Amino acid sequence: MNRLTTGLLLGFGVVLFLLATKPTKAQQEARWTWEDYSGKTHTRAELDDILKASELWVNFKSSIGRASVPERRNAEGGGPEGRESR
């Protein structure tokens, strides 16, 4: 082999080596993100905060709903809806 061929093969080998060792886009660890209705990008941590706040709100609303609907009883101490308990 002449020097030109050897140089080209060596250069090609180096390029292949460098391409093989660099991770591709699919192999890179990507951060998980989501996009809201207005197009803003948010992180997983922001979504977790929103979900926690939502869960607190739902639990709060359900506890208020249970507390604000007392069982109705008549003056004689009967059961619910004013009927006698049996």
**Both tokens assigned to 9:** 């093969």
Query: Tokens 């809806």 label which residue?
Result: 81
Series of mean pLDDT values for 10-residue runs along the chain (86 residues): 82 79 66 88 91 88 61 57 50
How many angstroms separate the CA atoms of 60 and 53, rounded?
A: 10
Q: What is the per-residue pLDDT for 17?
A: 78
Q: What is the per-residue pLDDT for 57?
A: 86
pTM: 0.40
Q: What is the per-residue pLDDT for 40?
A: 92
The answer to whether 44 touches 51, Cβ cutoff 8 Å, is no
